[in-house]
Amino acid sequence: MDIKTPWLLLGLCLTVDLSYVSLVSKTELGLLAEEDDPKCFTRTGEDFTCFWEAEVGKSYDFFYRTEDEERQCNLTQQEGSERGTVLHVCSFHPESIFLYVPTHISVVDTRNNETAYKRSVNVEDHLLLHPPKDVRLSKVTGNVGQLEVSWHNPKFQSKVSNHMLQYEIRYSSMGLPYTTILLPKSQSVKRSLLYNLKPLGPGKVCTVQMRMKPTYSFDGPWSDWSPSTTAMVPQSADDIRLQCYTPDLQHMQCSWNEKLYADEEYTLKYRQTDGFSNRWSQWETCPDVNGTAGQCVLLGEESSVFSVYVSTGPGLLDRVFYMDPFSMNESIKTEPPGGLMEETEGGRFCLSWDPPLQLISQHLVYQVRYQLWGEAEWKHFTVPNPKTNTCLDVQMSSRYSVQVKAVPSGSVYAGHWSDWSDSLIVDLPSNTGLLFLACIPFTLLILLIVFFSLFSKYFSKLKRYLWPPVPNLNDVLESFLKDISGQHGDHSFNIKQCDDDSPPSILEILSERGVQAVGKPFLIQSSETGSPAGENDGRGPLEAVEMGQGYVTLNTTDVVSCLGGNEYVYGEVVASSQGEHRTCRCSCPRPAVCPVSSTNILNCSYLLLAESDVSAVNGRYANLENATTASA
């Protein structure tokens, strides 16, 4: 028997646990700093490493047991994280690694043969993954303030699938602290993953990092952060005054201001769809870029929808300016209206013009502005309908500058105001004729007021002239009777009936003695003329009596001549006894009682005076007797 045979048999019988050295990096040491000793991890699920840190000079034995078999691991030492410390590392043999089976670990201090650490671990709960790789930022998102993050997962040499992973992103802008976002577990699990970061500060430099960890049936700590990547956050198209509009619903014109960011070369890119689906075309570069004017012309249809951005270069730190998607029929900016001319309508200042785009002329509204010559302020007037003419209320005898512009109404088509048309200079004539016409109503009003005032004044006279009043029969009859009485009243005295009220008169009563003492014939004196009635003035006694109706002398004798009756009342008596002389005596029935007076005035004038002869009244009035005697 060969002497080497027993040794070979002995080598086959002995179970020798060979250690596969796997050094622990500082990154792994830092990620597992909070783990209990001994700290364990696996990178792929097919390897397993445990380690702990101790002072230099100490020695340990590492034992582990899966199911019923216990094995010892040869330890490897490496420099610790701190000075004067050593890492004791155990790398499990692949044949001793089992998933979903507990592994019992014990660490014994060889100096005193005491157990230093003891724990039970599962390999699937200590999966330490590598960070995502190829993390990139894309500015082509179509939105302002948004970056697109893409990455790839590392290739696993285990049964860990992509859907068992969870991701975390952190980003910082302009040196500010990091902001961390935990992505949902339902995130896409493709090899190339995408996530849109928003909202970010437009025009700022943004730095992004990623890490991941297992989930579901696996567990473990977070991986290390991926290397950082940096990009410029997209800006708004307003920052370079980017505008796109169509003047004819066929060509889309885009223009921007290149002077806002100097030393930059601008490129416009676009994509479009037909407006009926959400399928965008690929980004294309505008072929008609004018480097000096900053303009580009795109072709499309009325239903086309565009997405446009302008960039200063392909680098991550180059600027990108995005514009919101827009449709052709909502981005109309027509040419300025033409054919602006002056018209006169009813003495007013009016304007007319031609529609700038005949295809949508019924969907346009206009705005007119006019300026008094020499002034800086414009006055605006909006025409709220598609009419291409209007009238303005301006001062006549003045010079005005007038302009007009157009915009779609928004009901079917929308867009921007066009530029102002060329100015129309208008010299307005004097408004004397208009002033005259304006004064006519006021003049008519004044004339009507005067007419009505005069008409009300002379209307009554005119009415009496045209329509005389119907006479009152009572008044006519009374007037007629008065006229008849006046024709028969040719008498010296108008003796009224006793019951009538006599008008007041001045009557002087004189005794017969007084008359004789005077020694002159008593004459009737008129109270109106103040002269005696019996003077030689060529008048007879009857005339004197007529003048002395207000001044007579009563007769004091007892016998008084009876007066004749009034022919108007006693006409029949007068006619039968004409020429007779009737007397009446006023006597006292009781003479003893009656006083004797030299002046006995008996007024028996209750009988009306007869007008047949004047001598009939001589017995009653003494002065009339004297007047008769004098006349004889």
Burial class (CB in 10 A: 0-12, 13-18, 19+), 433: exposed
What local confidence, expressed as pLDDT, does residue 162 receive?
67
User: Above 90 in pLDDT, residue 523?
Assistant: no
Confidence of residue 334 (pLDDT cuts 50, 70, 90): very high
Which strands sit side by side in the sheet containing 85-91, from one edge to the other? Answer: 39-41, 49-55, 85-91, 76-79
What local confidence, expressed as pLDDT, does residue 615 receive?
45
What local confidence, expressed as pLDDT, does residue 69 receive?
79
Confidence of residue 230 (pLDDT cuts 50, 70, 90): very high
What local confidence, expressed as pLDDT, does residue 3 receive?
40
Among 395, 391, 341, residue whose Cα is nearest residue 371: 395
User: Above 60 in pLDDT, residue 50?
Assistant: yes
| Average pLDDT of span 324-332 | 91
User: Above 60 in pLDDT, residue 446?
Assistant: yes
Lowest mean pLDDT among 271-275, 402-406, 471-475: 471-475
Q: Which residue has the higher pLDDT, 217 or 411?
A: 411
SS3 487: helix
At residue 120, what is the residue type? S
- Give one DSSP letter per residue of 571-594, joined into a string: HHHHHHSTT---EEE---S-TTTS
CA 397 to chain centre: 35
Q: Which residue has the higher pLDDT, 125 or 561?
A: 125
What local confidence, expressed as pLDDT, does residue 508 receive?
53
Among 24, 18, 28, residue whose Cα is nearest residue 96: 18
Q: What percent of the chain has pLDDT over 90?
A: 18
pTM of the predicted protein model? 0.56
| Average pLDDT of span 440-445 | 84
Which tokens sit at 518? Answer: 């005077």
Confidence of residue 465 (pLDDT cuts 50, 70, 90): confident
Q: Read off the pLDDT of residues 5-38 as tens digits, 9 standing for 90 and up.
A: 333 333 333 333 333 344 788 888 888 888 888 9
User: Above 50 in pLDDT, residue 172?
Assistant: yes
Confidence of residue 483 (pLDDT cuts 50, 70, 90): confident
Q: Which residue has the higher pLDDT, 408 or 533?
A: 408
Are 417 and 406 in contact, with CB atoms under 8 Å apart? Answer: yes
Mean predicted lDDT score pLDDT of the chain: 74
Strands 229-232 and 338-345: unpaired
The CB-based long-range contact list for 140-143 (8 Å cut-off, 24+ gap) reads 140/283, 140/309, 140/320, 141/196, 141/234, 141/322, 142/307, 142/309, 142/322, 142/325, 143/196, 143/198, 143/234, 143/322
Nearest-5° Cα angle at 265, 263 to 268:
145
Among 295, 206, 211, residue whose Cα is nearest residue 245: 295
At residue 183, what is the residue type? L
List all residues 6 or more positions away from 191 whose beta carbon is below 8 Å from its beta carbon.
Answer: 152, 153, 162
What local confidence, expressed as pLDDT, does residue 495 receive?
47
Q: Which residue has the higher pLDDT, 208 or 562?
A: 208
DSSP code, position 359: G
Among 96, 94, 53, residue whose Cα is nearest residue 72: 96
What local confidence, expressed as pLDDT, does residue 546 receive?
43
What local confidence, expressed as pLDDT, does residue 551 receive?
46
Domain at 236-330, CATH class = mainly beta
Q: Read off the pLDDT of residues 594-631 as tens digits, 9 standing for 90 and up.
A: 444 444 444 444 444 444 444 444 444 444 444 444 44
Q: Which residue has the higher pLDDT, 281 or 546?
A: 281
What local confidence, expressed as pLDDT, does residue 416 receive?
92
| Average pLDDT of span 281-296 | 73
Measured between alpha carbons, how far is 355 from 248 in angstroms, rounded to an integer? 13
| Average pLDDT of span 464-475 | 74
What local confidence, expressed as pLDDT, does residue 321 receive?
92
Measured between alpha carbons, how far is 144 from 346 in angstroms, rounded to an integer? 56
**Delimiting residues of CATH 2.60.40.10 domain(s) in the chain:** 14-125, 133-233, 236-330, 338-430
User: Above 80 in pLDDT, residue 146?
Assistant: yes
What local confidence, expressed as pLDDT, does residue 608 receive?
44
User: Above 60 in pLDDT, residue 338?
Assistant: yes
Strands 235-236 and 320-327: parallel
Look at the domain 14-125 and name its fold.
Immunoglobulin-like (2.60.40)
Lowest mean pLDDT among 196-210, 394-408, 605-619: 605-619
What local confidence, expressed as pLDDT, does residue 347 receive?
65
| Average pLDDT of span 216-233 | 89
What local confidence, expressed as pLDDT, does residue 402 receive?
92
Q: Which residue has the higher pLDDT, 609 or 69?
A: 69
Q: Which residue has the higher pLDDT, 1 or 53?
A: 53
User: Above 50 in pLDDT, residue 337?
Assistant: yes
What local confidence, expressed as pLDDT, does residue 364 receive?
93
Confidence of residue 149 (pLDDT cuts 50, 70, 90): very high
Q: Read off the pLDDT of residues 533-582 as tens digits, 9 standing for 90 and up.
A: 444 444 444 444 444 444 455 555 444 444 444 444 444 444 444 444 44
Query: What is the CATH code of the structural domain delimited by 133-233?
Result: 2.60.40.10
What local confidence, expressed as pLDDT, does residue 95 receive?
85
Count CB-CB contacts under 10 A for residue 561. 20
Among 408, 242, 412, residue whose Cα is nearest residue 311: 242
- How many CA atoms does the CB half-sphere of 81 hold within 13 Å? 13
Q: Looking at the DSSP assignment, which residues form a beta bridge with residue 232? A: 205
The helix/strand count (H/E) of the chain reads as: 8, 32
Lowest mean pLDDT among 88-102, 162-176, 180-194, 402-416: 180-194
| Average pLDDT of span 223-238 | 92
List all residues 6 or more positions away from 365 whose beta carbon is below 8 Å from its beta carbon.
Answer: 382, 383, 384, 385, 386, 406, 407, 408, 409
Q: Which residue has the higher pLDDT, 536 or 284?
A: 284
For 440-479, letters b (16+ CB in 10 Å) and e give eeeeeeeeeeeeeeeeeeeeeeeeeeeeeeeeeeeeeeee
Are 347 and 434 in contact, with CB atoms under 8 Å apart? Answer: yes
Measured between alpha carbons, how far is 145 from 234 in angstroms, rounded to an integer? 5
List all residues 6 or more positions away from 392 whose beta carbon is below 8 Å from its beta carbon.
Answer: 348, 349, 350, 351, 368, 370, 381, 402
User: Above 60 in pLDDT, residue 503?
Assistant: no
Confidence of residue 434 (pLDDT cuts 50, 70, 90): low
Look at the domain 338-430 and name its fold.
Immunoglobulin-like (2.60.40)
Among 133, 23, 152, 2, residue whose Cα is nearest residue 80: 23
